[in-house]
Amino acid sequence: MSTAVIVFPASNCDRDAAVALEKVTGKPPRMVWHKDTSIPDDVRFVVVPGGFSYGDYLRSGAIAANSPVIRDLKDKSEAGLPVLGICNGFQILTEAGMLPGALMRNANQKFVCRISRLRLANAKTRFTSQYDAKHEIDVPVAHHDGNYFADDETLRRIEGGGQVVFRYSENPNGSRNDIAGIVNASGNVLGMMPHPERAVDTVHGGTDGITLFKSIVGSL
């Protein structure tokens, strides 16, 4: 099965995402440059990785959201292609209008980098189905602009629709409703600030993240 990772100037988690995907699929993913105009048609799952695309100039993810490949990604996601945006990838997906809300500066105005305990708010998505009955996982966070914000009406809609997938057990950034990750209304696009690709090997301190990749790949 073919997967892909989109690479932007100053992406720094693209190789981590590639390692996670190869662990699960047994095949290296395609590394798609942001100036490419399309994602190969045989690709069945795409990761938009973390990092500091364009140095977070203007707003985190704002310039990357206008890259040529994102236009094609948006079209393909609307046709059902599964997409995972991690950290800066989450920021890019919100800036591109593929997910609701926005990621703002952390409430304490400081960069946060540590293991964060997450609660599974929805264990029935394509991205979480293999977590079984486990309701808490430990996944690293590393961000300065991870404060998830949405207006009250949007919050009511995503909460009522089961679109909140992960919540922080101890909120590190001020996100509304402790939100750490959400899916779109169709359930095929997930954005999350924590880094599951950094929790796929015991050498790195834990493997709670690998189940997310197994879940989505298994659903295909």
CA-CA distance, 59 to 62, in Å (whole number)? 5
Catalytic-labelled residue, pool 34, 95, 143, 195: 195
Catalytic-labelled residue, pool 34, 95, 143, 197: 197
34 an active-site residue? no
Q: Is the dihedral of CA 173, 177, 181, 184 positive or negative?
A: negative
197 an active-site residue? yes
φ/ψ of 12, rounded to 5, equals: -130, 5
Cβ neighbours around 90 below 10 Å, total: 31
Token digits of residue 211: 């189940």
Judged by phi (left if over 0) then psi (alpha if -120 to 50, else beta), residue 109 lies in left
Reduce the DSSP state of residue 60 to 3 states and report it. Answer: coil
CB 18 within 8 A of CB 5: yes
Reduce the DSSP state of residue 38 to 3 states and report it. Answer: coil
87 an active-site residue? yes
Catalytic-labelled residue, pool 13, 87, 95, 143: 87
Positions marked catalytic: 87, 195, 197
